[in-house]
Amino acid sequence: MATGEWFLVLFTVLSQMAVGYLIFVVRPVAGRQNPVLTWLLPAGLLGLALLVSLGHLGHPEGAYRALSNLSSSWLSREVLFFALSFLALVIAVLSERRQNAAAARTAATFALGTGLLGVLSSSLIYLLPARPAWNNFQTILSFFLTSFLLGMALAALVKQYRPEVPVGFSPSTCGFVVSLLLLLSLISSASYLTFLAAAGPEARITLNTLLASPWWWLRVVTGWLVPLSLSYRLLRQEEGSPSITLSLFIFLLVGEFLGRALFYGTAVALGIG
């Protein structure tokens, strides 16, 4: 995998986690004053993601040109939506500091909406007929699954250590939902492997590369099997467990990083097979 693609791995995973976190905190903040951390955390993650994304550019000083093709480029739209989401989160942080909860929630709701559009734009960038392994619905689904899984795990972790931050679910609900999301991820990945087997020589190269890679099997363990075990244990606990929640977040994060690295590193262009 090219060096620049590692920046894309970091950018996509961090940005999707920030948006996923917002999914689970925007609604519960209604009608109350909230800790600044509520918005500072996703703002920091998204700001870091945008900064990291500059590493993929040959000339980072020309990053503003990425906005020049909004009418035809999903990349331009991705940059716009995530930039708007980040700016809205900065406004939410400043509003919360000034104890203007209504303005903070309005800004955060806008950040969530533009963030979700950013995740969608990110996925649509890769629907390229020239790369069969990317040109299917699994790309879109996997990007949103990353967002929901990491967002919920991060929100649950924050709730364990900073209970004053509003989170709209209990630990047992987190365990239940994460288990369902992991099962959906497993089923969709199995379907994806079946698709690769039947989609042509380039797709079959991707399939063979995946199954022969120790990183794929490490992803299976860290991203699916261990989190499923941990989420089941969390499901049975009403009060939650800081150690289980932290372990769940770490394993999911490692698994999603590995999965995204494999996404970039194993796709084969038409004509190579």
Whether the per-residue pLDDT at 272 is higher than 60: the answer is no
- With beta carbons less than 8 A apart as the criterion, state whether 258 and 222 touch: yes
**CA angle at residue 12 from 62 to 206, to 5 degrees?**
110
In degrees, to the nearest 5, what angle opens at C-alpha 130 toward C-alphas 126 and 136?
50
Cα gap 76→87, rounded to integer Å: 17
In tens, the pLDDT along 136-180 reads: 999 999 999 999 999 999 999 999 999 888 888 999 999 999 999
Residue tagged 């490692």 (tokens): 254
Write b or e for each residue in 64-89: b if 16 or more Cβ atoms lie within 10 A of its Cβ, otherwise e: eebeeeeeeebbbbbbbbbbbbbbbb
Among 87, 154, 89, 80, residue whose Cα is nearest residue 122: 80
Q: Which residues contact 88 (CB under 8 A, 6 or more apart)?
A: 107, 108, 110, 111, 114
Of residues 246 and 53, more confidence is placed in: 246
Cβ–Cβ < 8 Å for 88, 111: yes
Domain residue spans of the chain:
1-125, 131-272
> pLDDT of 61-119, one tens digit each?
455 566 777 878 999 999 999 999 999 999 999 999 998 988 999 999 999 999 999 99
pTM to 2 decimals? 0.94
